[in-house]
Structure 1
Amino acid sequence: MNTSDSKTYIIAGASSGIGLELARILVNNNIVYGISRTPGELQHHENYRHFPYDFLTGEKLPDIAANADGLIYCPGSITLKPLERLSVSDIENDFTINAKGAFTFIQQYKGNIKNSPNASILLFSSVAVQTGLPYHISIAMAKGAIEGLTRALAAELSPTVRVNAIAPSLTNTPLAGTLLNSEAKTEANKQRHPLKNIGSPQEIALFANHLLTQSTWITGQIFGINGGMGTIIK
C-alpha cells in the first residue's frame, strides 16, 4: 500500500484479543507491523508484517526501519490470587509483561514515530487499578505502573506525541477464557457490571482506533471502558 492517506502502526500483541481486533480495523487502509508470539490470522494480509517475539524473554526487540504513526501495546495478564498465594514470581511476571514490556516497546520504537504529524502511543490498563477488587493485587500493581507511565510520557512527549491508555473491565478475549468458560461464570460476571454485560473486544478496538486516527487534542488520559464498574453502583 502506498496511498497518500495511509498510516503505519506498530502493535504489540496483534495476534489475539483486542490487539487482533484493532489490527483488523487498521490493516485494510494502513500498514500494520504486528509483534507477537504467534503470527495470527492476518499473517498473509498484504498490509501486515509479523515479527515473532515474547515479551517475557527480555530479549532485544526486532528492528523495524519504517516510519510509523502510532505505537500500541496490548499484551496483558490475569493473575487472580489472594495475598497468601501470590509469589514474587507472579508479581515479577505480571510486571514484566505489562509494565516493563510497555516501557521497552516504547523505548525501542519511539524513533519510528518522530516524523508523524499525529503521533500517538496507546497503552492498556485495567479497571482493577482504580477499583479495589479482591484477588487482583498483582494485576493492579502492574497496570498501575501503566497508568503512571501514560501520564509521565504524555507530559514528556507533548506536544509532538499523544499518549493515552484504555482501562477495560472483563472483556471476552482468549486471555479471559477461564473466567468465561461456562454459562454460569459468564452470567455471574455480567451481573457484576451495572450494564449487565461483558466487554466486547470489537467495541474497545473501535475506541482505540478513534484515539489513534481521529483525535488530535487528547493526551494523558485513562479511559475506563468497563460497563460502569467502579463508576456507578447499581
Structure 2
Amino acid sequence: MKNIVIIGCGSGIGLATAKELQSSNQIIGISKTKNSAIENLNIQFHEKNIITDNIDDIPFPEVIDGIVYAPGSINLKPFNRLSIDDFKNDFEINVLGAVIIIQKLLPNLKKSDNASIVLFSSVAAKMGMPFHASISASKNAVEGLVKSLAAEFSAQKIRVNAIAPSLTETKLATALLASPEKREAAAKRHPLQKIGNPEEIAKMVIFLLSDSSSWITGQIFAIDGGLSTIKL
C-alpha cells in the first residue's frame, strides 16, 4: 500500500485518480471545495486552498510515495485582453501550488523506496495556439520545473514526470464543450476525432505512480488524441 497525496481531488482528473487508487492505497486528498463525489471516497480529505491556506495542520504520513498535483486553469483570451493578474493567477495555480506541496513533502518523499511526483502540462505548451498565452506560459514553466526537479531529485530516487493533455471533459472545459456543435468541432480538431476523458488520463497517472514506471523520470507525456504530433 502506498501513501499518495492528490491535490485537486474534487473533480476531473484528480477525482478520477482518487477513485482508481482508493481501494489499494492510502489517499490524502486536498481540494478547495468539498462535494458529494469526495464524500463517497475512502480517502483522508482536507478542504484547503493549497496556495492560500496553511497546510501545516494536515497529518501527512511520515513516508509519502506519490504526489499528484492536478489543479489547472483554462483562461483563453486575446493577448491584449490578458491582464498581469491573469498571468499571475495562472502561474500560481499551475506552478506555485505544485512548488508549495513538493517543498512541504520533500522530506517525506525521500523516505520512500520509489517516490513519484506527477504534474500537469498542456498540449498548448508544445503547440502555438491563439488565445493561450497565459496558460501556455505557465504550463511551459511546469515542464521546466519537471525536468529540473527530476535531475535534482534523481539521487534520492524521486521521479518527476508530467502529463500534457489536450481538451478533456472536466469542469474547466465546460464552456468549451457547452453545446453539441462545440463538442463536435473540438473532437474534429484531434486526429482521433474525440476529446479526452478524466479516466483515460488517470490511467497514465496511476502508471507513473506505480513501480512499473520505476525507470521513467523527467518526461512529458502527451495524451492528446495525436494533436501535438500528427497532421492529417
Superposition pairs for residues 103-114 of structure 1, below 5 Å? 103-114=99-110
In the alignment, is the contact (CA less than 8 A) between 1:165 and 1:223 conserved in 2?
yes
In the alignment, is the contact (CA less than 8 A) between 2:64 and 2:108 conserved in 1?
yes
Any unmatched runs of 5+ in structure 1?
1-5
- Give me the whole-angstrom Cα distance separating, in 1, the residues matched to 2:60 and 2:129: 42
2:193 is aligned with 1:199: no
Q: Deviations over 1:7-65 (max 9, x none)?
A: 110000011000000000110111100010123423354x41111111452x3334333
Q: Could you tell me which amino acid in structure 1 is paired with residue 55 of structure 2?
A: L
Superposition pairs for residues 69-218 of structure 1, below 5 Å? 69-159=65-155, 160-213=157-210, 214-218=212-216
- Give me the whole-angstrom Cα distance separating, in 2, the residues matched to 1:23 and 1:152: 27
Match of 1:29 among 8, 24, 28: 24
Q: Kindly state the Cα deviation for residue 112 of structure 1 after the two structures are TM-superposed.
A: 1.9
In the alignment, is the contact (CA less than 8 A) between 2:163 and 2:221 conserved in 1?
yes
In the alignment, is the contact (CA less than 8 A) between 2:122 and 2:164 conserved in 1?
yes
Q: Give the fraction of aligned pairs with identical amino acids, expressed as a percent.
A: 49
TM normalised by structure 2 equals 0.94
- Give me the whole-angstrom Cα distance separating, in 1, the residues matched to 2:107 and 2:40: 27
**SS of alignment partner, residue 163 of structure 1:** strand
Q: Kindly state the Cα deviation for residue 183 of structure 1 after the two structures are TM-superposed.
A: 0.2
In the alignment, is the contact (CA less than 8 A) between 1:18 and 1:74 conserved in 2?
yes
- How many matched pairs? 227
Aligned twin of 2:217: 219
In the alignment, is the contact (CA less than 8 A) between 1:14 and 1:34 conserved in 2?
yes
Any unmatched runs of 5+ in structure 2?
none
Q: Kindly state the Cα deviation for residue 230 of structure 1 after the two structures are TM-superposed.
A: 1.7
In the alignment, is the contact (CA less than 8 A) between 2:74 and 2:173 conserved in 1?
yes
In the alignment, is the contact (CA less than 8 A) between 1:43 and 1:49 conserved in 2?
no
Superposed CA RMSD in Å reads 1.2
**SS of alignment partner, residue 137 of structure 2:** helix
TM normalised by structure 1 equals 0.94
2:227 is aligned with 1:232: no
- Give me the whole-angstrom Cα distance separating, in 1, the residues matched to 2:136 and 2:105: 26
- Range with bigger deviation, 61-70 or 14-23: 61-70
**SS of alignment partner, residue 9 of structure 1:** strand
Q: Could you tell me which amino acid in structure 1 is paired with residue 160 of structure 2?
A: V
Q: Could you tell me which amino acid in structure 2 is paired with residue 94 of structure 1?
A: D
